[in-house]
Structure 1
């Protein structure tokens, strides 16, 4: 009977303290931190009450009807449950903090700083969600004498097993470390346009072990994070969300560059896909072959789909202009006849 009363009193005390804590948080949340305090309290209320009940039971278990030789085991069990509940509380708090902070940032933004901030917040939450439970379980086991002795004997007598496990997990651990390096070095973030295996795509999801790239033809390419720390790759939007559009046209040597520049400028002015933030564009002769000259037009677009469409429309416009107004500029093969 005493055991039931002690458990009931611990539950009542934990619930009462949890209710008082909610009242205090509700009063404090009337100010500028309501956006963070109230969601955190709602998400963590049950685990907080559970932790308070476990603490109350830990200090009152000696007043129950349990035999004296059972008390150490009961305290060990309560201690382990306390650490596990605390880990769950911290993981929930991290998720709530992530949601609250991300709510204040635009979901779709072309600003590299905003996309970088969203990426860092998500990565830190994932790191915390992976590290906190491991630390909690390890800490809980070290508080139990029997398990601590077992852990020490296991580590000292199973060195070969540890080496095997380490070799087996080498790739996974390498990917995790590479993912952390990608985040800390700002190599990329979600929304960046990159070139992988000579194909461009947009980073759709960044995890600790792999990165998902949405290719230009809507395929999804999953790449281990170690790929980006061991091989060179192109990031077109690391400092600027805009993407450069390039069009190359082969023409005859008689083509007039000034006429081409005027027509290219007219086509760009008439195209809404061209980014006019700084009116930046270029038309240059970039190469000469035995039969033709290679003329390239470079202009900026807001994103990769716009850059692709802009390149296609510019190529079509220049080809139409040359065909209708200057057919003599079309590529020709010259030869000399000596009778």
Structure 2
């Protein structure tokens, strides 16, 4: 009679368990595909959860085989229990992730007017991360509770749960604030994935929203990582909050000889040659005419911010080329007026100009005479000259 409690019996039992697990996996796949033959999601489900499901079947089958052939090995049972919890958490996470991705796939963000789709994509992404976090925490806690020592520690911790919660709350205050801010951002519709924002003076798109931080894809392919609390406590610009359509301006300083009417006609021709103008608005106005220049402002519209930027550059380039070729007089110039000084006639003294201020030495001919006397040269007389003058006076 074959001895199942030997090493050979263990090997045979494990081989049979592996074959049985493989057969169950194949039968399950065939049943799922047959039940939903006309749908695409069953194939995606089998691809997503194939590895954790097969590994879960293998762990269960091998555990049963070892328990039947070599009973009484407590450490083996404990090891397989831990493996079962870990693989089971992986399998549950794969199912939850597939279900959320299936819902996200119904809302595409690569189409025009995708505000609702972006909002749902953002919320489902946050829910997926929360689900993964809960699954990992529950699995880790379940594994720890399989150890007898941890169970005793858990009882004592529960007895002082109030103190522990206060200490943990103080230690993780900033982290918890970011987590709550991330959840608030996801469900308050303040920002969504693919929103165009101005944050920290940089223009970019919301690339990723997590529980603790937000990744902004800047226009030059840099990534700016901001904490979630930034978008709940700091003012920022959201260019696609209610709609992605935007209005932009092009300002050009030109000469006074420019013809706004001719520019309006050319603007219509320029916009007719491009497909990135959405046709909502096109305005050309003279908004200022000072300091020797005429400021012309052109307003155009586009479906979103990147398209508007390209449209503004296109209109500006086309208008500059048209001005150079068709209306060179409109090119701005700086004018300098040269004034020739009149020649002076001999014997003619220019009249002095006086200010309106009247004082002791200014404002009248008498005052200026007094100033001349005080500021004229004073003769210096030496001692010998002074003595001769005294002798002459005495004679």
CA contact (8 A) 1:193 1:235 kept: yes
Alignment-derived partner of residue 301 in structure 2: 300
**CA–CA separation in structure 1 for the residues paired with 2:303 and 2:6:** 69
Q: Which deviations, in whole Å up to 9, do the C-alpha atoms of 1:46-72 show, x marking residues without a partner? A: 233046438847xx95985417xx4xx
Alignment-derived partner of residue 327 in structure 2: 325
**CA–CA separation in structure 2 for the residues paired with 1:320 and 1:31:** 58
SS in 2 for 1:203: strand
Q: Which deviations, in whole Å up to 9, do the C-alpha atoms of 1:108-137 show, x marking residues without a partner? A: 434414444444443333332222111222
Moved more, 8-17 or 241-250: 8-17
How does the TM-score come out when normalised to structure 2?
Answer: 0.65
CA contact (8 A) 1:87 1:136 kept: yes
**CA–CA separation in structure 2 for the residues paired with 1:161 and 1:331:** 76
CA contact (8 A) 1:193 1:201 kept: yes
**CA–CA separation in structure 2 for the residues paired with 1:328 and 1:285:** 13
Query: 1:68-107 to 2 correspondence within 5 Å?
Result: 70=74, 77-97=79-99
5+ residue gaps, structure 2: 340-395
**CA–CA separation in structure 2 for the residues paired with 1:315 and 1:26:** 58
Moved more, 116-125 or 287-296: 287-296
Alignment-derived partner of residue 174 in structure 2: 171
1:138 aligns with 2:144: no
Number of corresponding residues: 328
Q: Which deviations, in whole Å up to 9, do the C-alpha atoms of 1:132-169 show, x marking residues without a partner? A: 11122224444655422212324656987765654443
**CA–CA separation in structure 1 for the residues paired with 2:205 and 2:85:** 41
Task: Mark the CA change 1:138 to 1:291 in structure 2 (over 3 Å): closer, same or farther.
Answer: farther
State which of 21, 28, 34 in structure 2 corresponds to 1:27: 34
Alignment-derived partner of residue 393 in structure 2: none
State which of 60, 72, 92 in structure 2 corresponds to 1:66: 72
CA contact (8 A) 1:245 1:300 kept: yes
Measure how far apart 1:194 and its partner are.
Answer: 1.4
**CA–CA separation in structure 1 for the residues paired with 2:183 and 2:312:** 36
SS in 1 for 2:206: strand
Measure how far apart 1:184 and its partner are.
Answer: 1.6
Q: Which deviations, in whole Å up to 9, do the C-alpha atoms of 1:255-312 show, x marking residues without a partner? A: 6654443333232222333224xx3333345567676665432222344343223212
How does the TM-score come out when normalised to structure 1?
Answer: 0.74
State which of 243, 249, 252 in structure 2 corresponds to 1:249: 252
**CA–CA separation in structure 2 for the residues paired with 1:65 and 1:272:** 76
Measure how far apart 1:322 and its partner are.
Answer: 5.4
Task: Mark the CA change 1:45 to 1:84 in structure 2 (over 3 Å): closer, same or farther.
Answer: closer
CA contact (8 A) 2:85 2:139 kept: yes
Task: Mark the CA change 1:36 to 1:288 in structure 2 (over 3 Å): closer, same or farther.
Answer: same
Query: 1:189-268 to 2 correspondence within 5 Å?
Result: 189-250=192-253, 258-268=261-271
State which of 169, 180, 184 in structure 2 corresponds to 1:181: 184
SS in 1 for 2:241: coil
Alignment-derived partner of residue 122 in structure 1: 125
Q: Which has the larger radius of gyration?
A: 2
Bigger RCO of structures 1 and 2 (CA < 8 A, at least 6 apart): 1
Q: Which deviations, in whole Å up to 9, do the C-alpha atoms of 1:22-64 show, x marking residues without a partner? A: 343243242435344432452433233046438847xx95985
Q: Which deviations, in whole Å up to 9, do the C-alpha atoms of 1:184-227 show, x marking residues without a partner? A: 22333333221122331223333333333232333332222221
SS in 2 for 1:2: coil
SS in 1 for 2:189: coil
CA contact (8 A) 1:213 1:221 kept: yes
1:273 aligns with 2:276: yes
**CA–CA separation in structure 1 for the residues paired with 2:157 and 2:285:** 70
Alignment-derived partner of residue 309 in structure 1: 310
**CA–CA separation in structure 2 for the residues paired with 1:258 and 1:285:** 11
